[in-house]
Amino acid sequence: MTGDADRIRADARRTLLPVLVRRGVVASGAERILRSGRISDTWFDAAGLAPLYAELAERLARLYTAGGTAAHAVATPDPEERGLAAAVAAALPGAPLPVAVGNGYGLTDAPVVKPPLPAGTATLVVDSVTTRGTRILALADRLDRLGVPVAGVVLVFDREEGLGPRLGSRGIALHALLRSADLRGGGS
């Protein structure tokens, strides 16, 4: 299965990354202030992804299913990511899958998930980009408290600032199409 995932990521580096750079969705170089207030040398404009949702959803679904784990619902931590999450839900086996949406950045101590998912529903978390993964981890915690297991996390772009190991310590796999190292030319 790892070979399939590696081929999907290599194809994304070769075919998707140049498109995202050309469209100004992703860039590297000068430091910029992120929405979270952190400073990063990689820039990712999630709003620029909307025209590519169908293609991205297909790639993310293939990347996730290459790992051999089934999901029966999709959730996203941010209402702005609803379109991408719905497209992934439509591209996964068993589609269409239900889509739940969290409430974004720090609006409450416990993210709200709407509509509620039934306990025991293996759920795939979808987001376009993450730095440290605070929103994703908060959503995973909320789903866990509701008895909804997180089957995995898929991202278009991972800034590689620690989410993978944090999820791994919880037994949750992170699947990212692209990573910061890819943008800097060091991805493999």
The DSSP string of the chain is -HHHHHHHHHHIIIIIHHHHHHTTSEEEEEEEE-TTS-EEEEEE-GGGGGGGHHHHHHHHHHHHHTTT---SEEEES-GGGHHHHHHHHHHSTTPSPPEEE---SSSSSS---BSPPPTT--EEEEEEEESS-HHHHHHHHHHHHTT--EEEEEEEEE--SSHHHHHHTTT--EEEEEEHHHHTT---
Q: Which of 17-26, 38-47, 67-76, 133-142 has the lowest mean pLDDT?
A: 38-47
- Total domains in the chain come to 1
Is the residue at 167 inside a domain?
yes
Domain that holds residue 15: 2-183
Q: Which of 51-55, 67-71, 113-117, 172-176 has the lowest mean pLDDT?
A: 113-117
Is the residue at 188 inside a domain?
no
Is the residue at 157 inside a domain?
yes
Is the residue at 126 inside a domain?
yes
The domain spanning residue 166 has which CATH number? 3.40.50.2020
Task: Find the mean pLDDT for residues 162-174.
Answer: 94
pLDDT digit string, tens, across residues 14-31: 999 999 999 989 888 878
